[in-house]
Amino acid sequence: MSTTGTTGTTIDVDRSDADYRVWLKEAVRKVQADANRSADTHLLRFPLPEEWGIDLYLKDESTHPTGSLKHRLARSLFLYALCNGWIRPGRPVIEASSGSTAVSEAYFAKLIGVPFIAVMPRTTSPEKCRLIEFHGGTCHFADDPMKMYEESAELADRTGGHYMDQFTYAERATDWRGNNNIAESIYQQLRLERYPEPAWIVATAGTGGTSATIARYVHYMQHDTRICVPDPENSCFFDGWTNHDPHATSDCGSRIEGIGRPRMEPSFVPGAIDRMMKVPDAASVAACRALERAIGRKAGGSTGTGVWSALKIVSEMVAAGRTGSVVTLLCDPGDRYLDKYYSDDWLAAQGLDIAPYAQTLDTLLTTGTWREPGA
């Protein structure tokens, strides 16, 4: 019966579902409880010569329950989707992910008792696939990284599930004003340091949600900190940002898992950030290995991209005689990439020569001088 134009009668449609509301309250409680019982992540110091008067810190996001920065994002995405009524009992959550977000989302899906399917590039590291399955998720591989979005949406339609779509919702799901987000945490942990307001925060971009959260918080709190986003090879973010081109694309995927995208993602907010660097993949790997020598910890390639850029900024501060602090992120542990960034055979197969970049870092850390490879 059509209700168009009906007058004189109140039309009332009540879709309340008592059983669903009970399930929803419990699901939200479980996700919030995860945040409540998880200790904050550490802020590690990268050793620099004392006479430089510069402190370099790494926010160690690898200590989250699922081992990466993406744990924060997955928690926010689940709360956002639950409170919007998008996740329903018994129906799968589906995500397009290069790995770490999928690991974290599989964890939260298991926590609230719904199936999870990760749509990933076929080149995703075996260790990440193992972790997704360990947390109860299923891996669905896409031969073309550009087709991940379409395949995820089609799977959601076919199964009646929810496509989480981190690349659209990352920047809006996180409360950038505070609520112990990563930016507020950094500033709280720096409160007793000699330079409590960092000159720069360096954050690599996969979705762009982390750089947007940090930048918005900095602006909201009226800090003078600048935000730098390094971008790896085969990613379009740098070109899109420098050319003011929201439609920039790249024709192949990034070798540095977790960051870089073949299209300008909706969660990447170019206007919020101050600076970008295009970092060679060989430089990212060299920085991973330099980090291990400096602090005794292996980290993933995205961390190396950030460390390379942070050390370049440090070199500029040394050259200008400026003191202060710089913060970057330790995104995930290197044991997920032993067959890639820590494998000389993989480097040779990829045609990557890290020696010139390792020399640049060694020269900086011994003399304070930055010599770009090939310069």
* AA identity, residue 81: A
Could you tell me the pTM of the whole model?
0.91
Which tokens sit at 140? 């669905």
Instruction: Give the span between the Cα atoms of 41 and 62, in whole angstroms.
Output: 8
Please state, in angstroms and rounded to a whole number, the distance separating the CA atoms of residues 271 and 207.
15
Taken in order of first residue, the domains within the chain and their CATH numbers are 41-65+181-367 (3.40.50.1100), 68-171 (3.40.50.1100)
pLDDT tens across the length of the chain (375 residues): 555 666 789 999 999 999 999 999 999 999 999 988 876 899 999 999 999 999 999 999 999 999 999 999 999 999 999 999 999 999 999 999 877 899 999 999 999 999 999 998 887 878 889 999 999 999 999 888 778 899 999 999 999 999 999 999 999 998 898 777 999 999 999 999 999 999 999 999 999 999 999 999 999 999 999 999 999 999 999 999 999 999 999 988 889 988 999 999 999 999 999 999 999 999 999 999 999 999 999 999 999 999 999 999 999 999 999 999 999 999 999 998 999 999 999 999 999 999 999 999 999 999 999 999 977
Which tokens sit at 268? Answer: 């990447």
Q: Which amino acid is at 254?
A: S
Per DSSP bridges, beta strands 200-202 and 324-330 are parallel
